[in-house]
């Protein structure tokens, strides 16, 4: 018998911030593995472009909702609509995120702090709480299981100078995922964090064009390149699949070994 745990037929996967960057890289792999994929993003036109791309992959259905995860009412409504549309939620990847730093810590403003907090902390909290609520309800009805994933960052475990506000949100997300893993294990719901390193996305656009950054930072990545959104496809499929049914409460670093050098 062929070992085929990565065929996600019949599984419903939600990816917030799934219309571009790392989220889109994950969504592409999930769709190609035959999952039904739900995308949340604030830009309806970008959502539409992502759906058109994903529709060409796999056998599952793809649908997008315009949701601002920083607004609790939108998250509650959006999660109910995903569940109503697909009938269930098997995997939720809280990936939507923003990043804003400051010239230095002493000049960091409360506006910068709250800008990061609104999406990265509160948005992830709303999203994971509502997805978890759906999964627990299903488990109590006799159908246990599910996967909750938080896209954190190396900034959450390493020193990120001038990015204390951002680092705070990502460290907090890791702690929240660990707590969820222990609380929801009884329902066979797993919870894990993914920690990207230096990835070529819109968030790092300025650094990508900076020769000094390339020579001093990217040259230190042992794999010797920027990470790409598609580098997160495999780990998304794994965490959504039955192959990870006993894998919970961990931080999965995807950084080309940068943190080990």
Distances (CA, A) of 155 to 23, 101, 174, 219: 18, 12, 11, 19
Report all structural domains of the chain as residue ranges with CATH numbers, in order of start: 12-256 (3.40.50.720)
pLDDT tens string 241-255: 999 999 999 999 999
* Structure token pair of residue 30: 């999930």
Catalytic residue among 3, 115, 166, 238: 166
The verdict on whether 166 is a catalytic residue reads yes
User: What are the residues facing 63 on neighbouring strands?
Assistant: 38
3-state DSSP assignment of residue 88: coil
Which ranges of the chain have pLDDT less than 70? 1
- Residues 31/15, Cβ–Cβ less than 8 Å: no
Which pLDDT score is estimated for 5? 87
Which pLDDT score is estimated for 1? 65
pLDDT tens string 56-75: 999 999 999 999 999 999 99
- Residues 171/160, Cβ–Cβ less than 8 Å: no
Residues 6+ apart with CB under 8 A from 114: none
The closest alpha carbon to 67, from 88, 49, 46, belongs to 46
Element (H, E) at 63: strand 62-66
- Residues 169/117, Cβ–Cβ less than 8 Å: yes
Record the pTM: 0.97
């Amino acid at each position: 018998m062929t070992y085929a745990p990565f065929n996600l037929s019949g599984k419903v996967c939600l990816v917030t911030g799934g219309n571009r960057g790392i989220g889109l890289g994950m969504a592409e792999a999930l769709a190609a593995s035959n999952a039904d994929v739900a995308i949340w993003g604030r830009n309806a036109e970008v959502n539409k472009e992502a759906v058109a791309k994903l529709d060409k992959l796999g056998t599952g259905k793809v649908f997008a909702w315009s949701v601002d995860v920083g607004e609790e009412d939108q998250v509650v409504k959006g999660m109910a609509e995903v569940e109503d549309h697909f009938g269930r939620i098997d995997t939720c990847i809280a990936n939507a995120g923003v990043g804003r730093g400051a010239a230095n810590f002493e000049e960091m403003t409360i506006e910068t702090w709250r800008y990061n907090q609104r999406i990265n902390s509160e948005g992830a909290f709303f999203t994971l709480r509502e997805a978890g609520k759906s999964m627990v309800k299903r488990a109590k009805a006799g159908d246990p299981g599910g996967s909750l994933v938080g896209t954190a960052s190396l900034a959450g475990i390493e020193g990120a100078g001038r990015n204390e506000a951002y680092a705070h949100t990502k460290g907090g997300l890791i702690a929240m995922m660990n707590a969820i893993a222990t609380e929801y294990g009884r329902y066979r719901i797993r919870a894990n964090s993914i920690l990207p390193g230096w990835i070529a996305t819109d968030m790092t656009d300025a650094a990508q064009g900076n020769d000094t950054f390339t020579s001093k930072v990217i040259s230190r990545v042992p794999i010797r390149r920027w990470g790409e959104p598609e580098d997160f496809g495999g780990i998304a499929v794994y965490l959504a699949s039955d192959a990870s049914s006993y894998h919970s409460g961990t931080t999965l670093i995807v950084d080309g070994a940068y943190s080990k050098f």
